[in-house]
Amino acid sequence: MSREQRGPNEKLGTVLALAGISNAGLARRVNDLGAQRGLTLRYDKTSVARWVSKGMVPQGAAPHLIAAAIGAKLGRPVPLHEIGLADADPAPEVGLAFPRDVAAAVKSATELYRLDLAGRRAGGGGIWQSLAGSFAVSAYATPASRWLITPADPSVERLPGGGAAATAAPNGPGGAVEVPVEDVSARVGHSDVAKLREAAEDARRWDSKYGGGDWRSSMVPECLRVDAAPLLLGSYSDEVGRALFGATAELTRLAGWMAFDTGQQEAAQRYYIQALRLARAAADVPLGGYVLASMSLQSIYRGFADEGVDLAQAALERNRGLATARTMSFFRLVEARAHAKANDAAAAGAALKSAEGWLERSRDGDPDPSWLGFYSYDRFCADAAECYRDLKAPRQVRRFTEQALSRPTEEFVRSHGLRLVVSAVAELESGNLDAACAAGTRAVEVAGRISSARTTEYVRDLLHRLEPYGDEPRVVELRERARPLLVAPA
């Protein structure tokens, strides 16, 4: 459905011309983006002509999909006002704020948790469908800079009856922001925090084994709403509060990671921003760095390599002298991924060398955080292989992939599937079609056992690379094996 504006939408027409997108091309891109989010859209060139010449405004998620489609072609975020659709139903701003004040931070996080549940009850993705395409890497700028300036709040104590400040500190030109005082009759203790940490540990295992879309993994947003939010609104000492914010930050980052893995980039961005703010309240600088590293990986995946470098380096900067050697190794590895995506071979190589050096200095007795349990030498090799894939160095990809695939797969099923696809790409670029198809077949088998849009996209990319060999029987067989995976709902 659409509603009519007054006169032509000249802004949309101008930006389409600038991007070099035809009416039919925009319709196709919008339909494809909608399909990735479970929406069935049937726009055509006539629809686009009405948007431009008659000023018709499409309803629901369509304006945000239009902005995303044009932004992808231009290589930058496109706000709705630039294309004359600012009066379309606005996407909620919930989850994008990074308040300076702790009380306002609690309000921002708990609002996000409640919204997610409301979206799930609405069915079909709920509120996140209306946010489709609204990911903007620029939204990470303020959170990252505020975290770098002040990575820890001075106090997070919350007294019974809302003894913590009920009015946020000035947050921009508007001055103080009123924060409603919640019922804080519940007294939070270390046992409450322990339950959240146990939930986070369970969620990490399920996510690695079954993918972010598995129903057990999807219980994380429910845990945040039902368990974490009431605790954040309770009363606690500074010591307990720090631990509570840290555990909730871990769960929130996990919710973001799972959303990222299932293709809900808009939800992931909001969860990451709130996780970083909660990590600041926890005074947990390494955890804040981990959230920034997650933001960096998402930015890289979305095609914003330079911003990915900035976010990874922000994680490194504040953790010098604080984080363990293994933690620093991981942050440097993420930086290498960003440099490789930016096609900076020298910087990527230097970051990889540093990451390997930090890893070699790590010891079993080091006080590594629990959330880093996934990171070992084989994970380093897996990401190094992806770096060299982006740098188009298949020999190096094969060398690192062999080591990455040597670890048993029972615990890290999704990672094994991703590594198989990277291995297949390396074999293909080395001219070994048989080996590429064999690795691709194993990757498809793994992808069929998990719920991960990211893994499916890796398989789709491999099939695209195989298109020049489309008549080869091995390629035809692989394409047929992958067909149920590619047509299944995300």
Q: What is the mean pLDDT of residues 85-112?
A: 83
* pLDDT score at 488: 56
pLDDT of 181: 39
SS (H, E, C) the chain: CEEECCCCCHHHHHHHHHHCCCHHHHHHHHHHHHHHCCCCCCCCHHHHHHHHHCCEEECCCHHHHHHHHHHHHHCCCCCHHHHCCCCCCCCCCCCCCCCCCHHHHHHHHHHHHHHHHHHHHHCCCCHHHHCCCCCCHHHHHHHHHHHHHCCCCCCCCECCCCCCCCECCCCCCCCCCECCCCCCCCECCHHHHHHHHHHHHHHHHHHHHHCCCCCCCCHHHHHHHHHHHHHHCCEECHHHHHHHHHHHHHHHHHHHHHHHHCCCHHHHHHHHHHHHHHHHHHCCHHHHHHHHHHHHHHHHHCCCHHHHHHHHHHHHHHHCCCCCHHHHHHHHHHHHHHHHHCCCHHHHHHHHHHHHHHHHHCCCCCCCCHHHCCCCHHHHHHHHHHHHHHCCCHHHHHHHHHHHCCCCCCCCHHHHHHHHHHHHHHHHHCCCHHHHHHHHHHHHHHHCCCCCHHHHHHHHHHHHHCHHHCCCHHHHHHHHHHHHHHHCCC
Length of the chain (residues): 490
Q: In 10 A of CB 111, how many CB atoms?
A: 17
Which pLDDT belongs to residue 39? 64
Torsion over CA: 140, 291, 339, 428 (sign):
negative
Mean pLDDT of 407-435: 86
Model confidence pLDDT, tens digit, residues 162-193: 555 433 333 333 333 333 334 445 799 999 99
Question: Is 168 inside a domain boundary?
Answer: no
Cα 149 to Cα 143, 253, 314, 334, 467: the distances in Å are 10, 21, 11, 22, 49
306-324 burial code (b ≥16 CB/10 A, e <16): ebbbbbbbbbbebbeeebb
Does 345 have pLDDT greater than 70?
yes
For 71, the domain range is: 2-83
Question: Whole-angstrom Cα distance, residue 375 to residue 382?
Answer: 11
Maximum separation of any 2 CA atoms in the chain, in Å: 71
In 10 A of CB 123, how many CB atoms? 8
pLDDT, position 41: 82
> What is the model's pTM?
0.77
Residue 405 lies in a domain: no
pLDDT (0 to 100) of residue 88:
57
The pLDDT assigned to 404 comes to: 87
Across the chain, mean pLDDT equals 85
Q: Is residue 266 over pLDDT 80?
A: yes
Name the one residue in this structure whose structure tokens are 């929130």: 252
Q: Give the whole-number percent of the chain exceeding pLDDT 90.
A: 60
Residue 86 in this model has a pLDDT that exceeds 80: no
Which pLDDT score is estimated for 423?
92
Q: Do the domain assignments include residue 56?
A: yes
Domain assignment present for 246: no
The confidence score (pLDDT) of residue 216 equals 52
pLDDT of 118 reads: 44
Burial of 169 (0-12, 13-18, 19+ CB in 10 A): middle
**Stretch 409-415: mean pLDDT:** 77
What percent of the chain clears pLDDT 70, i.e. is strictly above it?
A: 84
Could you tell me if 98 and 142 are in contact, meaning their C-beta atoms sit under 8 angstroms apart?
yes
Span 204-218, average pLDDT: 69
In this predicted structure, what is the pLDDT of residue 165? 40
Token code pair at residue 171: 């947050």
> Using alpha carbons only, how large is the chain's radius of gyration in Å?
23
* Residue 453 in domain: no
Q: The tokens of 110 are what?
A: 């708990």
Residue 168 near residue 179 (C-beta atoms within 8 A): yes
- For residue 410, what pLDDT is reported? 67
Q: How many structural domains compose the chain?
A: 1
Q: Does the residue 232 lie in any domain?
A: no
pLDDT of 162: 57
Residue 120 has a pLDDT of 43
pLDDT at residue 248 in the model: 98
CB 113 within 8 A of CB 258: no
Mention every residue, 6+ apart, whose C-beta is less than 8 A from residue 216: 203, 206, 210
Name the more confident of 79 and 313: 313
Whether the pLDDT of residue 337 is over 60: the answer is yes
Name the least confident of 62-71, 229-238, 249-258, 414-423.
62-71
- 160 falls in which pLDDT band (50, 70, 90)? confident
Quick one: pLDDT at residue 123?
38
Residues 312/318/324/327 CA torsion (nearest 10 deg): -10
Which of 20-34, 122-136, 267-281 is modeled with the greatest confidence? Answer: 267-281
Q: Of the given ranges (2-16, 345-359, 385-399, 455-469), which has the lowest mean pLDDT?
A: 2-16
Residue 354 has pLDDT above 50, yes or no: yes
Q: CA 273 to CA 249: how far, in whole Å?
A: 10
The residue among 304 and 451 whose pLDDT is bigger is: 304
Residue 349 lies in a domain: no
Residue at token pair 């947990």: 284
Return d(Cα 106, Cα 108) in angstroms, integer: 5
Looking at residue 218, what is its pLDDT? 64
Q: Which pLDDT does position 80 carry in this prediction? A: 78
Least confident segment among 41-55, 354-368, 402-416: 402-416
CATH of the domain at 11: 1.10.260
**Between 153 and 165, residue with greater pLDDT:** 153
More confident residue, 307 or 266: 307
Mean pLDDT along residues 348-374: 96
The reply to whether 359 falls in a domain is no
What is the distance between the alpha carbons of residues 255 and 194, in angstroms, rounded to a whole number? 18
Give residues with Cβ within 8 angstroms of 471, minimum separation 6.
Answer: none
Least confident of 146-160, 214-228, 253-267, 319-333: 214-228
